[in-house]
């Protein structure tokens, strides 16, 4: 239900209670006579008002509620709700006209069978003192460790099975996530006795996989639509898919092109070179595990070379969404600003 309280001089406290009861979702939008959103009232607000004997609406309405535009995608709404620890949010148009209340109860998560492997065993040496006592994936971004944000993103797309590859200070990660039950997910651990790299750790998978699985570095965050990525992988009938992202670099000098006789052919002042980078996010078919060496250091990009030599289909998937790699302290600060709440 999306009943709303139209606020005017005749609106009473009991009106709010009746509409809240009709809505049944614990939240009541408050609008003016032109349908512009003025605020929210929740069950909790009503209870506090009664306990404090403040039964006038002025003391009840939250006039600065979280809200999103009606054109925001469902995945973005879900991710935002998880970030602010809410189950509902009003959606408005470009002129702040109330449209509807979105609740997590509306979401059909369509749980997937695919596993997600998160490489969380790195030393994080480039982050210096930040990782002296804490593994890099467990550094806090807002109220949660970074790796939990990664897990939340996958959960929002219906993925609930995770393998965490651990090595450096593995006990911290294992103690936090346990078997995953307190997060509503399943968690297994790939315990590296020595560093095996982003590919070698896959040799520790000891369960039979029937579906394509994800692999992601434990220090990258992205708003990528993982379900869309998986569909691409299947539609292309490929063995392995690597997510890539366009980057650029400006050469700080004038670049001169010459021919074999030293004649100057062209001059370009500080040109910008564009190229694609590996984002550290992949989708792989189970068969690739046969090409991963046992108990040896092996990075995932090397797997793509092996598959290419075996004439297997390998594809790229360009990420145009938000993506950042937490490799340096400055990157960590950028991520904290992005996810601050």
Q: What is the dihedral of CA 21, 22, 24, 27, to 10 degrees?
A: -70
**Domains in the chain, CATH or no CATH each:** 5-106 (3.10.580.10), 112-338 (3.90.550.10)
Q: Give the residue-averaged pLDDT of 12-29.
A: 78
Q: Give the residue-averaged pLDDT of 91-99.
A: 93
Evaluate if residue 96 carries a pLDDT over 70: yes
- Whole-number pLDDT of residue 329: 60
- Whole-number pLDDT of residue 161: 93
Is residue 103 classed as helix, strand or coil in its secondary structure?
A: strand
Rounded-to-integer distance, Cα 126 and Cα 263, Å: 45
Band (pLDDT 50/70/90 cuts) for residue 333 is low
Rounded-to-integer distance, Cα 220 and Cα 27, Å: 35
Evaluate if residue 213 carries a pLDDT over 80: yes
Q: Give the residue-averaged pLDDT of 252-258.
A: 93
What's the mean pLDDT when you consider all of the chain?
A: 84
Rounded-to-integer distance, Cα 249 and Cα 253, Å: 12
Q: Give the residue-averaged pLDDT of 137-165.
A: 86
Tell which residue, 139, 134, 140, has the closest CA to residue 171. 134
Evaluate if residue 244 carries a pLDDT over 60: yes
Band (pLDDT 50/70/90 cuts) for residue 335 is low
- Whole-number pLDDT of residue 341: 39
Using alpha carbons only, what angle is made at residue 241 by residues 236 and 243, rounded to the nearest 5 degrees? 120
Q: Is the pTM of this model over 0.85?
A: no
Higher pLDDT, 75 or 127: 75
- Whole-number pLDDT of residue 137: 83
- Whole-number pLDDT of residue 222: 85
157-200 pLDDT, tens digit each: 888 899 999 987 788 899 999 988 777 789 999 998 888 888 99
Most confident by average pLDDT, 16-30, 76-90, 288-302, 318-332: 288-302
Evaluate if residue 306 carries a pLDDT over 50: yes
Band (pLDDT 50/70/90 cuts) for residue 80 is confident
Evaluate if residue 278 carries a pLDDT over 50: yes
Rounded-to-integer distance, Cα 210 and Cα 285, Å: 9
Q: Distance from first CA to last CA of the chain, Å, rounded?
A: 29
Rounded-to-integer distance, Cα 163 and Cα 206, Å: 11
Band (pLDDT 50/70/90 cuts) for residue 309 is very high
105-136 pLDDT, tens digit each: 655 556 789 999 999 876 555 555 555 667 77
Evaluate if residue 221 carries a pLDDT over 70: yes
């Amino acid at each position: 239900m999306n009943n709303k309280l139209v606020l005017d001089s005749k609106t009473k406290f009991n009106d709010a209670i009746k509409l809240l009861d009709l809505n049944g979702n614990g939240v009541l939008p408050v609008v003016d006579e032109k349908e512009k959103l003025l605020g929210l009232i929740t069950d909790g607000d009503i209870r506090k008002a009664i306990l404090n004997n403040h039964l006038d609406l002025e003391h009840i309405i939250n006039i600065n509620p979280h809200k999103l535009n009606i054109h925001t995608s469902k995945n973005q709404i879900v991710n935002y709700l998880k970030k602010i620890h809410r189950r509902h949010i009003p959606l408005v148009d470009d002129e702040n006209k109330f449209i509807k209340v979105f609740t997590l109860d509306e979401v059909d998560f369509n749980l997937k069978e695919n596993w997600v492997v998160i490489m969380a065993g790195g030393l994080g040496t480039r982050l210096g003192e930040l990782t002296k006592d804490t593994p890099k994936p467990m550094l806090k971004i807002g109220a949660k460790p970074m790796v939990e944000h990664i897990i939340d993103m996958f959960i929002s797309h219906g993925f609930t099975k995770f393998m965490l590859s651990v090595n450096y200070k593995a006990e911290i990660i294992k103690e936090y996530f346990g078997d995953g039950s307190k997060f509503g997910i399943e968690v297994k651990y790939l315990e590296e006795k020595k560093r095996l790299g982003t590919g070698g750790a896959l040799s520790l998978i000891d369960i039979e996989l029937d579906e394509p699985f994800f692999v992601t570095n434990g220090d990258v965050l992205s708003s990528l639509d993982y379900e869309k990525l998986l569909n691409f992988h299947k539609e292309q009938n490929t063995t392995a898919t690597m997510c890539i992202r366009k980057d650029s670099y400006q050469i700080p000098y004038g670049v001169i092109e010459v021919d074999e006789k030293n004649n100057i052919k062209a001059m370009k002042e500080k040109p910008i070179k564009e190229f694609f980078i590996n984002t550290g996010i992949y989708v792989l078919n189970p068969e690739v595990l046969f090409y991963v060496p046992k108990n040896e250091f092996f990075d995932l990009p090397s797997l793509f070379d092996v598959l290419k030599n075996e004439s297997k289909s390998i594809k790229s998937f360009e990420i145009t969404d938000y993506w950042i790699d937490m490799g340096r302290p400055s990157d960590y600060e950028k991520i904290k600003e992005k996810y601050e709440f």
